[in-house]
């Protein structure tokens, strides 16, 4: 049984078809990148896979369970998470508080969120542990808005990792990060995934150096359809996919 499986996903927005019969499987141990030109359906696919929007047709199963109508909280408890982008939502929270928000959400204590942030020693300790995994231990008291962009991205990803998922979906984990810092962000991300025991990673990413450097498999989308689903070398050796998805030859 695949860890995550989607069959025949279609998504319509009025007359526009964002996804057209997308099927995929993600197995334990895979790092899957979703690529494609703007408008290919990448973010829509991640939104459907994580239950943010319902598909017009088709099914998504995680560990054999149909995710239709499951809701974010139950999805997190089942073991799937996506980056929260809490830095944008709560820029005035500290690093420690941002991570604690995710931990409280995992524990289902949202109603006493700020009381938990202020008074729960075990919560602060777990937040500090996650911060150490992402190289943010010395920034626990800094507000999110004051962090360099690379650290903001790490904090966004760390907040999803704080949910302790089995599978994590990341939408542009290195966007806005300098070319020099992108590999550093990815190295920290992959190392943290191993430490926490995450079974699979799915990312949407435009930077082809990152895609080909870290993926075990690549799914190329074009006009809402799967154009290719293969290894990095399989993508690189297919001139049609390269021309359609990337628009230029690989270096």
Q: What is the DSSP letter of 199?
A: -
Q: Where are the domains of the chain?
A: 1-79+165-177+189-251, 84-164
pLDDT tens-digit profile of 16-28?
999 999 999 999 9
Total-model pTM:
0.87
- Alpha-carbon gap, residue 85 to 225, rounded angstroms: 27
Q: Is the pLDDT of residue 120 over 70?
A: yes
- Alpha-carbon gap, residue 17 to 67, rounded angstroms: 21
What is the mean predicted confidence (pLDDT) over 92-98?
A: 91
Q: Is the pLDDT of residue 169 over 70?
A: yes
Assign 44 a pLDDT band (cuts: 50, 70, 90): very high
- Alpha-carbon gap, residue 138 to 160, rounded angstroms: 20
C-alpha closest to that of 215 among 227, 228, 226, 204: 204
Average pLDDT, the chain: 88
CB proximity list for 120: less than 8 A, separation 6 or greater: 100
**Cβ neighbours of 71 (radius 10 Å):** 10
C-alpha closest to that of 202 among 170, 228, 225: 170
Q: What percent of the chain shows pLDDT beyond 70?
A: 91
What is the mean predicted confidence (pLDDT) over 129-145?
A: 94
Q: What are phi and psi of 160, to 5 degrees?
A: -75, -40
- Alpha-carbon gap, residue 210 to 127, rounded angstroms: 28
pLDDT of 202: 96
pLDDT of 86: 62
Q: Is the pLDDT of residue 251 over 70?
A: no
Q: Is the pLDDT of residue 61 over 80?
A: yes
- Alpha-carbon gap, residue 68 to 47, rounded angstroms: 13
Strand pairing class (57-62; 65-66): antiparallel
- Alpha-carbon gap, residue 235 to 131, rounded angstroms: 35
Number of alpha helices (DSSP H) and beta strands (DSSP E) in the chain: 11, 10
Q: What is the DSSP letter of 28?
A: T
The CATH topology of domain 1-79+165-177+189-251 is Rossmann fold (3.40.50)
Length of the chain: 251
**Cβ neighbours of 11 (radius 10 Å):** 22
Distances (CA, A) of 124 to 58, 137, 188, 191: 41, 12, 21, 22
pLDDT tens-digit profile of 194-219?
998 999 999 999 899 999 999 999 99
């Amino acid at each position: 049984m695949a860890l995550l499986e989607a069959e025949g996903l279609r998504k319509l927005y009025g007359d526009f078809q964002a996804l057209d019969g997308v099927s995929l499987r993600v197995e334990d141990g895979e790092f899957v990148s979703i690529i494609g030109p703007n408008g290919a359906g990448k973010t829509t696919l991640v939104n459907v896979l994580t239950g943010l929007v319902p598909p017009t047709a088709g099914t998504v199963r995680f560990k054999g369970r149909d995710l239709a109508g499951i809701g974010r909280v139950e999805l997190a408890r089942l073991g799937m998470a996506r980056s929260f982008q809490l830095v944008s939502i709560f820029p005035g929270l500290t690093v420690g508080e941002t991570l604690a928000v995710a931990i409280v959400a995992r524990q289902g204590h949202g109603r006493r969120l700020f009381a938990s942030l202020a008074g729960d020693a075990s919560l602060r300790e777990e937040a500090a542990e996650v911060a150490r995994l992402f190289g943010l231990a010395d920034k626990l008291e800094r507000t999110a808005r004051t962090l360099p962009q690379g650290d903001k991205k790490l904090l966004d990803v760390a907040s999803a990792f704080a949910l302790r998922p089995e599978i994590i979906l990341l939408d542009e984990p290195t966007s806005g990060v300098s070319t020099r810092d992108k590999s550093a962000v990815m190295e920290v991300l992959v190392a943290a995934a191993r430490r926490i025991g995450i079974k699979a990673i799915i990312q949407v990413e435009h930077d082809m150096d990152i895609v080909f450097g870290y993926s075990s498999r690549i799914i190329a989308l074009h006009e809402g359809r799967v154009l290719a689903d293969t290894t990095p070398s399989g993508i690189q050796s297919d001139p049609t996919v390269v021309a359609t998805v990337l628009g230029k030859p690989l270096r």
